[in-house]
Amino acid sequence: PRPILLTRHGESRDNVRGRIGGDSVISDTGELYARKLANFVEKRLKNEKAASIWTSTLQRTILTASPIAGFPKIQWRALDEINAGVCDGMTYEEINKNMPDEYESRKKDKLRYRYPRGESYLDVIQRLEPVIIELERQRAPVVVISHQAVLRALYAYFADRPLKEIPHIEMPLHTIIEIQMGVTGVQEKRYKLM
């Protein structure tokens, strides 16, 4: 059976500052993860000639993929992080202070809440459909380097988790989730690289 490896990008400069969205580069810690990830992937997929690396179109995932050698890399806009609309680039504290109503509505229903001029989790789940179809079609392993909200949705699909849980699934940085689809169902392994 072929594995699907899911991981968030290495820590970004905006992660360090607590800012959501944006298109920042990765921090030194993020770069260290990128090198560890490359090492892991090159060993784990050594004999997998047809494997591929999928990223979003945002710098932090492309930079995280960059040390990985020997596999084609494909960028998907559908793998970009949830669009926080008018809140893009803000910290949760700033949103709470400047737009308390928005902050409260999101807290009440994180799955359905749509950022003004941005997206909801339901929107993200919907735009991931072509990615999921293509993942299902692949015969070779795929490494997906994406973002917290997107990976919650992808993971929930493969792990068969209910819709309402999706926005709350734990998706730590610097950890690889390996999904194996076999005849007996889905198996999962986690590798915490740092």
Position 81: which residue type?
E
Give the residue, chosen from 81, 120, 143, 144, that forms a contact with ligand G3H under the rule CB under 6 A. Answer: 81
Reading the block at residue 48, the tokens are: 């997998």
Residue 166 Cβ vs ligand G3H, minimum distance, rounded to whole Å: 9
β-strands 3-8, 175-182 pairing: antiparallel
Give the residue, chosen from 148, 151, 174, 177, that forms a contact with ligand G3H under the rule CB under 6 A. Answer: 148
How many residues interact with ligand G3H (rule CB under 6 A)? 8
Residue 110 Cβ vs ligand G3H, minimum distance, rounded to whole Å: 7
185: left (phi over 0), alpha (psi -120 to 50) or beta: left
Concerning whether 60 is annotated as a catalytic residue, the answer is yes
21 is an interface residue for ligand G3H by CB under 6 A = yes
Distances in Å between the Cα of 78 and the Cα atoms of 54, 124, 134, 146 are 11, 8, 12, 10
Span from 125-133, 143-151, 155-163, 180-188 in contact with ligand G3H (CB under 6 A): 143-151
Distances in Å between the Cα of 107 and the Cα atoms of 69, 128, 152, 169 are 41, 23, 17, 15
The CA-to-CA distance between both ends of the chain, in Å, stands at: 27
Does residue 126 sit in helix, strand or coil? helix
User: Is the CB of 51 or the CB of 150 nearer to ligand G3H?
Assistant: 150
- Annotated catalytic residue within 19, 106, 127, 147: 147
Residue found under tokens 């910290």 = 91
Reading the block at residue 131, the tokens are: 């990615």
147 is an interface residue for ligand G3H by CB under 6 A = yes
- Annotated catalytic residue within 9, 127, 152, 174: 9
Residue 125 Cβ vs ligand G3H, minimum distance, rounded to whole Å: 12
Give the residue, chosen from 20, 34, 124, 176, that forms a contact with ligand G3H under the rule CB under 6 A. Answer: 20
| Residues near ligand G3H, by CB under 6 A | 20-21, 81-82, 147-149, 167
Active site residues: 8-9, 15, 60, 81, 147
